[in-house]
C-alpha cells in the first residue's frame, strides 16, 4: 500500500512541488522467485515514485510512502557482504568509543559492524546494542552474538530501550534516517536515547551528490528523504539536538556525517557548509534531461554489444540496480544475468526486469567460456573499486563499466 504525502515530513507544510517523476516502479529490494513453467506468474506490486520538494523548508522527499512493514521486515542487504562498509562503520564507533556505558547502532543490520567493534571493547564496561526491524537480520546478528533489539526505531522504542539499558553515550545511525517516514517521531526518540554528554553520529547520503552525480538510481521507495545539511540541521534543532560538525564522506556515493549533541548550539563549521549548499536553485528539468540521455546511451551501448556478440553481465543486485534496470527498461533481452554475492538474493529475479541473480562463482558454469564475460556492468557502482579489485584477477580480459559507461580500473591499494 502507498499513501500520498499531504504535508512535509519535517516542517509539516502542505506547500509541496514535484521535481522528478520516475513513474510506477516495483519495490527495489523485492526480488522475485522464478516461477516454474505452467505456473501463473505472481504480479509484482508497483507504486508511484516521485521526488518532491517542500517549498517552505526546502526538504526533498518522496511524494508517496509505502508502508515500512512491506519493505523492511524481511530485508536482503547484509552489511557483511561489503567488508569495506563493515570496516568503515566499525571505525567510526571505535574512534568515539566511550570508556564505559551504552553504545547503540540504529539500523544494525546483520550485526557485523558491532561484531567487529566487540574486538575493540575487550573487557571494558562498554555495552553494545543493535536496533533493527528486520527479523531475518536480527537472527543473523544473534548468531554473531550481537545483542539486538528487533524493532523499528521510534520514540516508543527509545523509551523501551532506555528503560531496559539506560541512556546511550554513543549512538550511530548510518544510512537510516533517509528510510524513516515519521521523521519527527524518530528524532524525538534519538533525543530521548542520547545521554546528556552523549554523541550521536548520523550519516546520510547528501542530496547534492545525488544531483551532481546524476544518481537517480538512489531514488526508490525505501528512501523517503534526501537530506541537505540545512534541512537535517533544522530537523535536529526542532528536537533540541545540535549539529556540531559536518564531514563529507566518499562512501556509498557521497554522504555527510554529522556529529550531534544534546546542547550547546550548532557548531561554527556547520554554517559555512550550509551557506555553500544550493538546494534552492537545482535545475531538476536539466537533471531529467541528463537522466534521459544516460538511459539512451546505456541502452544503445548494450544493444551494440549484443549485436557484436559480446557477453555482458550486471554486477550487484542492489536496490539501485533495480531502479536503473526498470527506469531504463533493460529487460532480459539486453541483459540476462546479475551477479551478487548475497546468498539470499541468488536464484531470484531482479524486481520488474527479471534478470536472474547468480553467485559470482557460478558465472563460469553459466557462460561456459574460459575468458569470462567481455563486459561487466557494475550496477552497484558505489562498490565499483571493491568489486573490480576482487574480480579482475579472475577475469583479466573483462572490461568493467559503470552505468554512465565509464571504465573502472581498481587502484591497487586497500582503503
Please give the residue ranges that form the binding site for ligand TYD (CB under 6 A). Answer: 77, 81-82, 316-320, 340-342, 345, 380, 382-383, 386-387, 390
Q: CA 94, CA 113: separation in Å to the nearest integer?
A: 10
Q: CA 376, CA 360: separation in Å to the nearest integer?
A: 12
What is the nearest approach in angstroms of ligand TYD to the Cβ of residue 180?
15
Rank residues 58 and 320 by Cβ distance to ligand TYD and give the closer one. Answer: 320
CA distances 249 to 142, 148, 252, 336, Å, are: 30, 27, 8, 34
Q: Which of 211, 245, 217, 208 is nearest to 95 (CA)?
A: 245
Q: CA 316, CA 322: separation in Å to the nearest integer?
A: 10
Rank residues 308 and 365 by Cβ distance to ligand TYD and give the closer one. Answer: 365
**Residue 110 dihedral angles phi and psi, to the nearest 5°:** -85, 10
What is the nearest approach in angstroms of ligand TYD to the Cβ of residue 390?
5
What is the nearest approach in angstroms of ligand TYD to the Cβ of residue 225?
15
Q: CA 132, CA 118: separation in Å to the nearest integer?
A: 18
Rank residues 305 and 338 by Cβ distance to ligand TYD and give the closer one. Answer: 338
Rank residues 176 and 319 by Cβ distance to ligand TYD and give the closer one. Answer: 319
What is the nearest approach in angstroms of ligand TYD to the Cβ of residue 217?
7
> Do residues 251 and 174 make contact, with C-beta atoms less than 8 angstroms apart?
no
- Judged by DSSP in three states, 368 sits in coil
Rank residues 202 and 319 by Cβ distance to ligand TYD and give the closer one. Answer: 319
Rank residues 234 and 340 by Cβ distance to ligand TYD and give the closer one. Answer: 340
Q: CA 327, CA 22: separation in Å to the nearest integer?
A: 7
Q: Which of 140, 149, 220, 154 is nearest to 187 (CA)?
A: 154
- Judged by DSSP in three states, 65 sits in strand
What is the nearest approach in angstroms of ligand TYD to the Cβ of residue 316?
4
What is the nearest approach in angstroms of ligand TYD to the Cβ of residue 29?
7
What is the nearest approach in angstroms of ligand TYD to the Cβ of residue 82?
4
Rank residues 318 and 325 by Cβ distance to ligand TYD and give the closer one. Answer: 318
> Do residues 280 and 58 make contact, with C-beta atoms less than 8 angstroms apart?
yes
Amino acid at each position: 500500500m502507498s499513501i500520498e504525502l499531504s504535508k512535509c515530513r519535517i516542517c509539516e507544510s502542505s506547500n509541496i512541488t514535484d521535481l522528478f517523476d520516475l513513474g510506477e516502479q516495483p519495490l527495489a529490494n523485492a526480488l522475485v522467485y522464478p516461477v516454474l513453467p505452467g505456473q501463473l506468474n505472481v504480479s509484482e506490486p508497483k507504486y508511484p515514485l516521485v521526488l518532491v520538494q517542500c517549498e517552505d523548508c526546502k526538504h526533498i522527499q518522496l511524494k508517496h510512502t509505502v508502508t515500512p512493514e512491506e519493505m523492511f521486515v524481511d530485508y536482503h542487504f547484509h552489511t557483511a557482504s561489503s567488508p569495506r562498509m563493515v570496516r568503515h562503520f566499525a571505525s567510526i564507533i571505535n574512534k568515539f568509543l566511550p570508556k564505559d556505558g551504552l553504545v547503540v547502532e540504529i539500523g544494525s543490520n546483520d550485526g557485523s559492524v558491532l561484531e567487529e567493534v566487540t574486538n575493540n571493547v575487550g573487557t571494558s564496561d562498554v555495552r553494545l546494542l543493535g536496533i533493527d526491524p528486520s527479523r531475518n537480520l536480527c537472527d543473523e546478528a544473534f548468531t554473531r552474538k550481537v545483542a539486538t533489539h528487533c524493532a523499528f526505531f521510534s520514540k516508543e522504542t527509545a523509551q523501551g530501550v532506555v528503560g531496559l539499558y539506560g541512556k546511550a553515550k554513543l549512538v550511530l545511525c548510518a544510512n537510516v534516517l533517509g528510510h524513516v517516514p515519521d521523521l519527527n517521531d524518530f528524532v524525538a526518540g534519538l533525543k530521548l536515547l542520547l545521554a546528556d554528554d552523549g554523541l550521536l553520529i548520523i550519516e546520510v547520503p547528501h542530496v547534492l551528490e545525488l544531483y551532481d552525480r546524476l544518481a537517480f538510481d538512489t531514488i526508490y521507495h525505501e528512501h523517503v528523504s534526501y537530506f541537505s545539511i540545512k534541512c537535517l540541521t533544522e530537523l535536529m534543532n526542532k528536537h533540541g539536538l545540535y549539529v556540531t560538525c559536518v564531514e563529507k564522506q566518499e562512501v556509498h556515493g557521497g554522504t555527510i556525517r554529522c556529529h550531534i549533541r544534546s546542547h550547546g548550539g550548532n557548531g561554527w563549521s556547520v554554517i559555512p557548509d550550509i551557506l555553500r549548499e544550493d538546494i534552492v536553485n537545482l535545475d531538476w528539468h536539466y537533471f531529467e534531461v541528463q537522466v534521459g540521455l544516460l538511459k539512451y546511451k546505456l541502452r544503445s551501448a548494450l544493444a551494440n554489444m549484443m549485436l557484436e556478440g559480446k557477453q555482458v553481465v550486471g554486477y550487484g543486485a542492489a536496490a539501485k540496480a533495480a531502479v536503473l534496470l526498470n527506469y531504463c527498461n533493460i529487460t532480459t533481452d539486453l541483459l540476462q544475468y546479475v551477479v551478487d554475492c548475497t546468498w539470499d538474493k541468488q536464484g531470484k529475479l531482479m524486481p520488474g526486469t527479471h534478470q536472474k541473480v547468480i553467485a559470482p562463482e557460478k558465472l563460469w558454469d553459466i557462460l561456459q567460456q574460459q575468458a569470462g564475460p567481455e563486459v561487466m556492468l557494475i550496477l552497484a557502482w558505489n562498490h565499483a573499486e571493491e568489486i573490480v579489485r576482487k574480480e579482475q584477477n579472475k577475469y583479466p580480459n573483462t572490461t568493467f563499466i559503470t552505468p554512465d559507461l565509464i571504465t573502472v580500473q581498481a587502484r591497487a591499494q586497500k582503503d
